[in-house]
């Protein structure tokens, strides 16, 4: 019985020391977690400070990506610092290869261009969700083919993109072509929106012309006389497109003088004033003189559309924009007492979800 006492005491000691060890282990890991959280908070705050200073250090870029730190927000939608610096570096590479002439493009200029584009993309994505816009691979392929058509083959295009922007063709497609396609499709969806009010209605005119060039060999009086004779032939029933092919001096002569659909503000005033005062199917009674020469003009059709460009410009001006650096807000309205945009450096830690 006496030999049982030491064993009992040892068991009691073991039982009492086990909870103590568990408590010590728990305290150790709790302390370690506190250290990690404090260190993480320190890195987070340091990174935000360096983001405000537009640092391009690899550590800051990596930390900004991990913590999802924005350089800006528009209506609450984040523009990530990582995306900003990716585009900034690419655009800087582009300008370094251009002949800039007397006025060099500064880092400030590049920052403005990049933040403007990324804010636009973020707001476009907001309306893409509203209109349930989806982009299929076929949409991207069509836009990409337009780019590739400017080069002998895809390999040459890829080499030029790499040289000019420092990106692979795939990266260029993701960062440049895709957003353009989304914007186009949002614009198309807006044009079909029957709830759009008169504020954003606009007139489009489908017109064609025959351009007669004025130069030293073709003085204006002679050109006007020739244009007048051709105009009379049209009035007498001859085909406009055929005469455009015969007498037109610009590229539209190959398509019967077709200028396509024209928006206000996209052509020279003396030409625009004439065509937007005409009705569908009307041939202008005289000739139109512009800096390009003498025109015979016919309007094929007129229609009213939803003006997405005007609508979107207003949305940008009214948007709640926050920029966490000293980059100026590209959409701020000068001297506006009711402006709803802010530009600031916010040092308050944000939720990274």
Please check whether residue 304 is in contact with residue 201, taking contact to mean a CB–CB distance below 8 angstroms: yes
The predicted structure's pLDDT at residue 277? 97
What is the rounded (10 degree) CA torsion for 42, 48, 50, 52?
-160
CATH number, position 215: 3.10.50.40
327 within domain boundaries? no
pLDDT band at 326 (very low <50, low <70, confident <90, very high): confident
- What digits encode the pLDDT tens for the residues 135-145? 999 999 999 99
Whether residue 171 lies inside any domain: the answer is: no
Which tens digits make up the pLDDT trace of 2-54?
A: 555 555 555 555 545 555 555 555 544 444 444 433 434 454 454 556 555 56
Q: What is the pTM of this model?
A: 0.72
Question: Would you say 275 and 207 are in contact if contact means Cβ atoms under 8 Å apart?
Answer: yes
What residues make up the domain containing 212? 202-306
Asked if pLDDT for residue 106 goes beyond 70, the answer is: yes
**Local confidence band at 260 (pLDDT 50, 70, 90 cut-offs):** very high
Confidence of residue 61 (pLDDT cuts 50, 70, 90): low
Residue 109 and residue 107: Cα distance in Å, rounded?
5
pLDDT of residue 97: 84
On whether residue 209 sits in a domain, the answer given is yes
Q: Indicate if the pLDDT at residue 83 is higher than 50.
A: yes
| Measured distance CA(94)–CA(98) in Å, rounded | 7
| Residue 271 forms part of a structural domain | yes
Q: Check the CA dihedral 111-112-116-117 and report its sign.
A: negative
Mean pLDDT check: name the lowest of 113-127, 205-219, 330-344. 330-344
What pLDDT is attached to residue 81?
Answer: 86
Percentage of the residues of the chain whose pLDDT score is greater than 90:
65
Domain assignment present for 288: yes
Residue 314 has pLDDT above 50, yes or no: yes
Q: Band the pLDDT of 294: cuts 50, 70, 90.
A: very high
Please say whether the beta carbons of 300 and 241 come within 8 A.
Answer: no
What is the rounded distance in angstroms from the CA atom of residue 51 to the CA atom of residue 59? 11
**Residue 13: its pLDDT value, please?**
53
Q: Looking at the DSSP assignment, which residues form a beta bridge with residue 299?
A: 207
Rounded mean pLDDT of 309-316? 95
Is residue 64 scored above 90 in pLDDT? no
Task: Give the model confidence (pLDDT) of 202-256 as tens digits.
Answer: 999 999 999 999 998 889 999 999 999 999 999 999 999 999 999 999 999 999 9
Q: What's the confidence (pLDDT) of residue 346?
A: 44
Determine, yes or no, domain membership for 192: no
* pLDDT score of 236: 97
Distance between CA atoms of residues 137 and 40, nearest Å = 40
Tell me which of 126 and 51 has the higher pLDDT. Answer: 126
Structural domains of the chain, count: 1
**Residue 333 pLDDT > 80, yes or no?**
no
| Average pLDDT score over the chain | 83
Question: Which contacts (CB < 8 Å, 24+ apart) does range 89-96 have?
Answer: 89/56, 89/166, 90/165, 90/166, 90/167, 90/175, 91/165, 93/164, 93/165, 93/166, 94/164, 94/165
Cα dihedral 123, 201, 199, 264 sign: positive
Strands 258-263 and 321-323: unpaired
Residue 2 lies in a domain: no
What sign has the CA pseudo-torsion 95, 97, 103, 106? positive
Phi, psi of 190 (to 5 degrees): -65, -40
In order of 59, 82, 113, 151, 334, the CA distances from 88 in angstroms are: 17, 10, 9, 25, 26
DSSP string, 252-313: GGGGTTEEEEEETTSS-HHHHHHHTTS-TTPBPSS-EEETTEEEEEEEEEEEEEE-HHHHHH
Q: Which long-range contacts (CB under 8 A, 24 or more apart) does 125-134 make?
A: 125/77, 125/182, 126/75, 126/77, 127/186, 127/189, 127/190, 127/312, 128/182, 128/185, 128/186, 131/186, 131/189, 131/190, 131/193, 133/182, 133/185, 133/186, 133/189
Which three-class secondary structure state does DSSP give residue 332? coil
The pLDDT of residue 46: 44
* Domain contains 273: yes
Which pLDDT does position 352 carry in this prediction? Answer: 42
């Amino acid at each position: 019985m006496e030999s049982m006492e030491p064993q009992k005491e040892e068991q009691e000691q073991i039982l009492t020391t086990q909870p103590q060890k568990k408590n010590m282990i728990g305290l150790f890991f709790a302390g370690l977690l506190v250290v990690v959280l404090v260190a993480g908070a320190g890195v987070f705050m340091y990174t935000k400070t360096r983001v405000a200073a537009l640092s391009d250090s690899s550590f800051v870029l990596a930390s900004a990506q991990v913590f999802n730190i924005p350089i800006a927000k528009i209506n609450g939608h984040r523009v990530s610092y990582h995306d900003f610096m990716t585009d900034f570096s690419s655009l800087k590479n582009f300008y370094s290869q251009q002949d800039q002439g007397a006025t060099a493009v500064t880092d400030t200029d590049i920052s403005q261009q990049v933040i403007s584009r990324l804010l636009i993309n973020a707001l476009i994505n907001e309306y893409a969700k509203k209109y349930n816009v989806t982009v299929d691979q076929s949409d991207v392929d069509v836009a990409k083919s337009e780019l590739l058509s400017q080069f002998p083959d895809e390999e040459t295009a890829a080499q030029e993109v790499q040289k000019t922007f420092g990106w692979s063709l795939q990266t260029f497609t993701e960062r440049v072509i895709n957003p353009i396609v989304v914007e186009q499709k949002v614009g198309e969806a807006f044009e079909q929106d029957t709830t759009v009010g008169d504020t954003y209605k606009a007139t489009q005119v489908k017109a064609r012309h025959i351009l007669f060039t004025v130069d030293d060999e073709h003085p204006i009086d002679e050109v006007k006389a020739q244009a007048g004779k051709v105009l009379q032939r049209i009035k007498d029933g001859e085909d406009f497109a055929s005469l455009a092919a015969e007498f037109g001096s610009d590229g539209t002569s190959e398509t019967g003088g077709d200028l396509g659909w024209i928006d206000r503000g996209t052509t020279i005033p003396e030409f625009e004033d004439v065509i937007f005062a005409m009705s569908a199917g009307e041939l202008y009674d005289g000739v139109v003189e512009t800096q390009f020469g003498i025109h015979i003009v016919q309007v094929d059709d007129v229609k009213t559309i939803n003006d997405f460009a005007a609508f979107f410009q207003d949305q940008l001006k009214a948007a709640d924009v926050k920029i966490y650096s000293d980059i100026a807000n590209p959409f701020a309205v000068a001297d506006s007492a009711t402006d709803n945009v802010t530009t600031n450096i916010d040092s308050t830690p944000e939720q990274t979800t």
